[in-house]
A = this chain, B = another copy of it.
């Protein structure tokens, strides 16, 4: 249970808020590269951390992420014309380049130097993998580019999507950390979903609905291990990495692709639920990509499978979203009652609060900024009872190019 001021601290990410500053220490996914498919394509509205921005791709392929509103009289540049190396406001023709610099004001003499003085707020926008990333913090603190494995494997091995969620980012992210709900909420889908079925691990999952949780601190975040009984006194471990502030990865099943999420605040009551799916050593099949699309676009399978799901809602994403949104726009954590399976959530919150305060008070670079922290893998593994997962799965928890995942 949190005090009200703690809940406020964790859930508010606008400019000026401490958690807003923390988020502004990281490269964050701003939009899918496919949303700006070609040079001079239409600009796209992007709202992120409560800031209203416009993303565009200019004549030369440069990406820009700038203030949504023209510096002249405040017209939205979503109406802008993307032409000749700049985005031009249709009202009076003011034109901006991808850095937000005004490069033309038609009504003013060019020699007046007026337009050089006009510059819109802007942030870097960089393609890495199938995602356009932005960094919204102070330029002198800009970290190296992210090195998440899904964004660095060859393009045919990775797939990305996102869906809008009507809730604060934190209750969404907490659902990503909390793998204990899988045995309940998603149980009906383990055997049938094309991205899950057929794994030996599913049997352990369904047989043991009371996993034991162990959480291990990492420089960049946490490893959350869920231990269930396997054969011969051994343990089946599922290990979920959480990297600060909002990256989670679900443990793999058999040879299925690995998937996971980012939960990016749009404002304090909505967020983007990003999903990535990748395989470290092989291309995704057409069938897999189709199943990923189905899952992400919330296809209503209820009609197809009436009575076959646990929650009455079909599809992992719908199941999670329906419950997380039902908590209300910002979950009131002064009323919750956490149990042992929530340890990962409790520790993640404390890491976030500590990091936000250290950043605020001392300017400490928060965990997860260093790209080395990105090189994590989720793991599913059977270990003997006397072996701690952090030792037994040590190698498996590191992402290595060209090395397959460890999975059951």
- Chain A contact residues, CB within 8 Å of chain B: 69, 71-76, 78-79, 81, 90-93, 105-109, 114, 118, 171, 174, 180-181, 183-185, 209-211, 310-313, 319, 322-324, 326-328, 331-333, 335-342
Contact = CB atoms under 8 A, between A and B. Distances in A.
Contacts of A75: 323-324, 326-327
Nearest to A337: B71
A380 to B, nearest CB: 19
Contact of A337 (B93, B118, B209, B335): B118
Contacts of A184: 90-93, 106
A79 B340 contact: no
List the number of copies, as a whole number: 3
20 contacts: A69-B335, A71-B337, A73-B171, A73-B327, A73-B336, A73-B338, A74-B328, A74-B331, A74-B333, A74-B336, A76-B326, A79-B323, A79-B326, A90-B311, A91-B181, A91-B184, A93-B209, A106-B184, A108-B339, A114-B339
A31 B44 CA distance: 39
B181 A92 contact: yes
Nearest to A331: B74
A174 B90 contact: no
Contacts of A324: 75
B339 A72 contact: yes
* Chief secondary structure at chain A's binding surface: loop
A71 B331 CA distance: 12
Contacts of A312: 79, 81, 90
Nearest to A75: B323
Contacts of A180: 92, 107
Contacts of A328: 74
B337 A78 contact: no
Contact of A91 (B73, B108, B185): B185
A389 to B, nearest CB: 18
A185 B340 CA distance: 62
Nearest to A210: B107
Contacts of A106: 183-184, 209-210
A91 B324 CA distance: 9
A323 B88 CA distance: 13
A302 to B, nearest CB: 13
A181 B106 CA distance: 10
Contacts of A333: 74
